[in-house]
Structures are given as structure tokens and as C-alpha cells.
Homo-oligomer: A and B are copies of this chain.
Amino acid sequence: MNIFLVGTGLIGGTLLDQINAQANIIHVIALANSEHTLFDDSRIDLTDWQSALEESTDDTDMAKFVSKMKSLNLKNSIFVDCTASEETQNYYEEILNAKISIVTPNKKANSSSFETYQMLKNTAAKNSVKFLYETNVGAGLPVISTLNDLVKTGDKIIKIEAVLSGTLSYIFNVFTDKMPFSTVVQQAQKKGYTEPDPRDDLNGVDVARKILILARESGLSMEIDAIEIENLVPEAGREANSVEQFFVELKKADDKFAAMQNQAKCNNKKLRYIAKLEKGLATVSLQAIDKNHPFYDLSGSDNIVSFTTKRYKETPLVIKGPGAGAEVTAAGVFADILRTI
């Protein structure tokens, strides 16, 4: 297998270390970060890829990267997109048409228009190559592959319920009456558990993108606009120009969150930010659930996905575990790479 990897940040870098420790059958032919690009068609030595990439005098240019990758015309080529960029997806169609498989944790393409999503799947099928993105949802947890198996074998999805944000899972696991909500978020941010701007977690868009992808994989031609999202960012904080200003506004909402938390506690309930797909409708909302609910006992930053289907009807098929983190996400990308052949 010949890997062309863009994005050597936390996930991409961890992936390179995992490949180096494990798989001799995988040759990494090219690496690029936002600044440098390194090609070595005999294979890049992964024991010190950082220095080699840093010392490369090739500036990164995605068009050139793709063109060079295509011209090498190597068997079993795989383009691995570990960037968080919107730009890379513009090349996916061209790459698939060059009979190069794509593996990516980047969910921008699959959560853009349904037309793009479907076009990419069709283009991959037409060229007999793979377009794999298990880590778009639940990091390394086997969520999308399990859903694919259900659908391909003729099962019918009745309901999907899920906690899909490790960050929000963590925040609502930590949030009790002992600490204001804004402080919980601030501490999570300091620990690096949130995006640099925590609004990118709290606005629910990332969770909506994930349930959108699960809806599409279930066979629905859904767009992101169709999803009802409960935005946890107070209205005044949405337009705030800085993260600091946002926290000022979030503090003002502490009483509101405390009231919700207190009410939940009085009823022996817990707050969970839950994505749901049922009868063609997707919603993302904060809910108070009681101890009979399977999501009650969630801990840490665990994700959980529950599939109720025609065949898994009495009790659902449930997958639970850490849904974020460089090691497990990189391992999920690695497993997808191994699945391309």
C-alpha cells in the first residue's frame, strides 16, 4: 500500500507513528503539512519524518500534490486526508477518478451537500476504489461500518440515538451543582478538551454533522439545514468577537444551566446532549434522562451509539467508548487504510 498523507498534526502524526510501529506492507510515499511537502517514491523513512518534512524545500500546494501523486501512478495508492481543511475535499473527485482510494477523518466532504456526498460515493464505486471515513463519527469506534453492514444486508433503521461529542459528554459528566457551567467549560478548554473556541463544540454543529452522516449512511438524502439543533451558546455569546467576550456572556447563562441541572438532579436525571434520528427526522438537543435510559451511565468523554432496527428491535445494538483522542482516531484511520485492499 502506498500512502499519500496530508495533515501531519495530532492525528496524522500519531498515525505515522502507528504505521511505523506496525506495518511493513505500508509505504508512505508523500507527506504534507500546511507549509511543507515531502515526496519519496521509494518510501519515506518514518523514524524521523518530522525533520525530513521540516527540511523539505517544497512548499505545500494541493494542486501540485495531487498532480504528482497521480503521475506516480503507483498500485494500491491511498490518499489520507488528516487535515481539518475545507480545501482538500475539492480534490476528492479527481483523486477517486485517478483510481486512488481516500481515507479520512475529515468530515467536511460528507457533511457538505448531499449531492457532493453522493457524487463521491458514486465516483469511488465507479472506479472500484474505496472512500472510507469510519472516524467521521465516534473516532475509532466501529459505528459507520456497523451501520453499513446493517443497511447492506437489508436491515431497516428504525431509530439511532447517540452521544457523539466527546467534549460535551465530558462537560455534562463533570457539570454538577458544585461548579458553574461556564467554569466547567473554561476548565475543559484549558485541558484542551474543547476546540480553541468552545462555541464550536457548544453550538451543536459538529454533532449535527455526525448525525447527518449517519442519516445519509442509513439511506436518507438529508441536508444539514433539516436538522433541528439546540445551540448551547447563549444568543448574546454567538456574535461575541472573542472567546473572552463569549465567556462573559456564558457566565450570564450560568443560572439557567444551574436551574436545568438542579431540576434534573431532583428528578434523579442527568443532562446529556443527544443526537437522534427517527422517522426521517434528525434532532440534536440537551435532554434530562433517567437511570433507565442506556445513556445515563456514560462516563468520561465516552460516545455511545444505539441502533434500533427491524432486526435489533427488542433491545438495540449499542457501541460505546472513547469517541475522541489522537490514538484511537489514528487507529481508526489505520484500520480504514487496511480495509482499502
Assess A328 versus B302: contact at CB under 8 Å? Given A153-B335, A317-B141.
no
Contact call B327/A314, Cβ cutoff below 8 A: no
Contact call A315/B300, Cβ cutoff below 8 A: yes
Give complex CA distance A149, B300 in Å: 23
Q: Within the complex, which residue of B150, B294, B321 is in contact with A331, where a contact is CB–CB below 8 Å? A: B150
Q: Within the complex, which residue of B22, B297, B332 is in contact with A154, where a contact is CB–CB below 8 Å? A: B22
Q: Within the complex, which residue of B22, B153, B300 is in contact with A18, where a contact is CB–CB below 8 Å? A: B153
User: Could you tell me the distance in whole angstroms from the C-beta of A139 to the nearest C-beta in chain B?
Assistant: 10
Q: Mark A292-334, 1 if CB is under 8 A from B, else 0.
A: 0010010110100000000110111111111001011001101
Contact call A149/B335, Cβ cutoff below 8 A: yes
Interface size class of A (residues with CB under 8 A): 35 or more
A interface, over-half SS: mixed
Contact call B319/A318, Cβ cutoff below 8 A: yes
User: Could you tell me the distance in whole angstroms from the C-beta of A11 to the nearest C-beta in chain B?
Assistant: 13
Binding site for B on A (CB under 8 A): 18, 21-23, 140-142, 145-146, 149-150, 152-155, 294, 297, 299-300, 302, 311-312, 314-322, 325, 327-328, 331-332, 334-335, 338
Give complex CA distance A266, B320 in Å: 30
Instruction: List 22 A-B pairs, Cβ < 8 Å.
Output: A18-B153, A18-B154, A21-B154, A23-B154, A140-B149, A140-B311, A141-B317, A142-B142, A142-B145, A149-B331, A149-B332, A149-B338, A152-B338, A300-B314, A311-B325, A311-B327, A312-B321, A312-B328, A317-B319, A317-B322, A318-B319, A318-B320
